[in-house]
Amino acid sequence: ALLIAPITWPGGEVGAFVPALLFPVIPLAGLAWVSKGNAGCLFGKVGWREIKLMILFAILNIVITVIVGVLVQVTLGASSNPAIATASELSPQGLLVFLSKAAVQLVGEEVLTVIPMLALLHVLVARGGLSRNAGVCWAWLGTAILFALLHLSTYQWDFAQCILIIGTARLVLSMAYIKTKNLWVSAGAHILNDWILIMVNVIGSRLIQS
């Protein structure tokens, strides 16, 4: 609600970080409350191994989503992300602010996915009687669909595009968390993925304009 509410935050470019920062902070605070201060369990250490995994999952995600994206574009058509499209019109300083704010917001997107995934896993296994592996698979798939549907307004309510492209990307990024149990890894991969796509669009647009 804070991200989409028409609120003019004070502080100019700095104030624009407020809703992006609250996006991960509010659910983490809620998790800390119900787990008696154990929200930090979502995060692990960040060393060279974790950085390499961030890069690996980012590259894997780009390759897979580009392939799926091309197939969807050719068969069904697809809409562009207006936020990425407008990034090419920003000044260098504005682009730096945009990328920084995006990084904070993308951590929020990981929190928005991982907490429901763990909650759904608990319900399926502890109350639904599924095996842990089956529960992980269903929670992984279910939250990927949820994540995809949250992007409907961004992509002009194109249901197929969101489920097939965004949902596929979410599966890869969620796998980064499932494999490492470290939200920093999935968040880092998500940030690198989006930064690369944004910069490719910015550089391509400016080369065309020149």
For the chain, 210 residues long, give each residue's pLDDT as a single digit of tens. 877 778 888 777 778 788 899 999 999 999 999 999 999 999 999 999 999 999 999 999 999 999 999 999 889 887 777 777 788 888 888 899 899 999 999 999 999 999 999 999 999 999 999 999 999 999 999 999 999 999 998 888 989 999 999 999 999 999 999 999 999 999 999 999 999 999 998 888 878 876
Q: CA separation (Å) from 135 to 124, 129, 132, 140, 181?
A: 6, 9, 5, 8, 16
196 near 62, Cβ under 8 Å? yes
Residue (of 195, 63, 174) closest to 114 by Cα position: 174
pLDDT of residue 207: 80
pLDDT of residue 206: 77
pLDDT of residue 15: 82
What is the H or E stretch that residue 13 is in? helix 12-15
Query: Dihedral, CA atoms, 181, 184, 8, 11, nearest 10 degrees?
Result: 150
Whether this prediction's pTM lies above 0.85 is answered by yes
pLDDT of residue 26: 95
Residue (of 181, 186, 172, 179) closest to 44 by Cα position: 181
pLDDT of residue 198: 92
Q: Return d(Cα 196, Cα 96) in angstroms, integer.
A: 13
Any idea what DSSP says for residue 37?
S
Q: Which two tokens stand for residue 209?
A: 């304009």
Q: Return d(Cα 49, Cα 35) in angstroms, integer.
A: 28
pLDDT of residue 178: 97
3-class secondary structure, 91: coil
3-class secondary structure, 35: coil
